[in-house]
C-alpha cells in the first residue's frame, strides 16, 4: 500500500498606503471652499463658485443633508486641497490539499483513489470607511475535484469519479 497527502497554504495580510483620493476637509463641511478653490489646489488657476455663493463660501443650510450623511463614511483630509493617502487592506487565504492511495491487492487486483481540494478566501472588509471597503468576486471560492477511484483486475476495469 502507498499513500501520500500534501498541503500548501498561503496566508497574506497587507495594507499598503498607496491610494490617493480627494475628500472633504473640515472647512468644506462648514461651507468654506476658499482653500479648495485656490490656485494652489487647481494647477495655478483660481476657481470661483457661481454667483449665488460669495467668496467661495456656501451657507451651511445650503449643503445637501443626504450628501453630508454620506460623508460620515469617508475620512476627512487635513490637507487644504482635500488630498488623502489611504490603504485598502487585504486578507487572502489560499489553501490546497491533495492526496492519493494505491493498494495492490494482488498482481491482478489493484485500487487507487485520489483527491484535490483548493480553497481561496478573500473576506470583505468594511470599517465605516467607503474608501477602503473591499471585496471581490472570488470571496470564499472553494473548488473540489472529487474523489476518483479505479479498480482493476486481469479481465475487468472500472472507474468511478464522484
Domain identity same for 69 and 106:
no
Domain identity same for 100 and 151:
yes
Domain identity same for 123 and 70:
no
* DSSP per-residue string spanning 115-162: EEEEEEE---B-SS-GGG-B--TTTTEEEEEEEEEEEE-SS-EEEEE-
Q: Round to whole Å and give the CA distance between 146 and 117.
A: 8
**Average pLDDT of span 62-85:** 90
Phi-psi region of 4 (alpha: psi -120 to 50; beta: other; left: phi over 0): beta
Q: How many domains does the chain have?
A: 2
Domain identity same for 63 and 99:
no
**Average pLDDT of span 54-83:** 89
Domain identity same for 107 and 64:
no
* DSSP per-residue string spanning 114-126: EEEEEEEE---B-
In 3-state terms the chain splits into helix, strand, coil percentages (rounded to 5) of 15, 45, 40
Domain identity same for 64 and 107:
no
C-alpha 87: how far from chain center: 12
Last residue of a domain, one of 36, 54, 86: 86
Domain identity same for 10 and 28:
no
Q: What is the per-residue pLDDT for 118?
A: 84
Q: Residues 7, 13, 18, 23: what is their CA dihedral angle, to the nearest 10 degrees?
A: 130
For the entire predicted model, the pTM comes to: 0.59
The residue range of the domain holding 122 is 2-15+91-161
Domain identity same for 28 and 8:
no
Q: What is the per-residue pLDDT for 135?
A: 59
Provide the grid cell at 114.
485520489
Domain identity same for 23 and 74:
yes
Considering only residues 78 and 155, tell me which one the structure prediction assigns the higher pLDDT. Answer: 78
Domain identity same for 55 and 109:
no
Domain identity same for 23 and 77:
yes
Last residue of a domain, one of 60, 86, 112: 86
Domain identity same for 78 and 112:
no
Query: Tens digit of pLDDT for each residue in 93-147?
Result: 888 998 888 888 887 788 888 888 888 887 777 777 888 776 555 545 555 555 5
Say yes or no to pLDDT of 155 above 80.
no
Last residue of a domain, one of 53, 86, 119: 86
β-pair type (110-121, 90-104)? antiparallel
Query: Tens digit of pLDDT for each residue in 5-36?
Result: 999 999 888 877 788 889 999 999 999 999 99
Contact between 136 and 122 under an 8 Å Cβ cutoff? The reply is: yes
Amino acid at each position: 500500500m502507498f499513500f501520500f497527502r500534501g498541503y500548501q497554504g498561503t496566508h497574506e495580510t497587507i495594507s499598503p498606503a498607496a491610494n490617493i483620493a480627494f475628500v472633504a476637509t473640515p472647512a468644506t463641511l462648514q461651507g468654506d471652499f476658499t482653500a479648495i478653490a485656490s490656485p494652489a489646489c487647481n494647477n495655478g488657476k483660481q476657481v470661483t463658485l457661481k454667483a449665488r455663493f460669495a467668496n467661495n463660501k456656501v451657507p451651511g443650510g445650503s449643503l445637501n443633508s443626504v450628501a453630508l450623511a454620506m460623508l460620515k463614511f469617508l475620512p476627512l483630509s487635513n490637507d487644504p486641497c482635500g488630498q488623502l493617502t489611504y490603504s485598502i487592506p487585504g486578507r487572502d487565504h489560499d489553501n490546497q490539499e491533495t492526496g492519493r492511495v494505491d493498494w495492490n491487492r494482488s498482481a491482478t487486483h489493484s485500487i487507487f483513489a485520489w483527491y484535490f481540494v483548493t480553497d481561496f478566501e478573500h473576506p470583505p472588509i468594511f470599517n465605516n470607511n467607503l474608501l477602503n471597503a473591499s471585496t471581490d468576486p472570488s470571496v470564499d471560492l472553494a473548488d473540489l475535484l472529487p474523489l476518483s477511484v479505479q479498480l482493476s483486475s486481469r479481465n475487468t476495469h472500472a472507474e468511478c469519479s464522484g
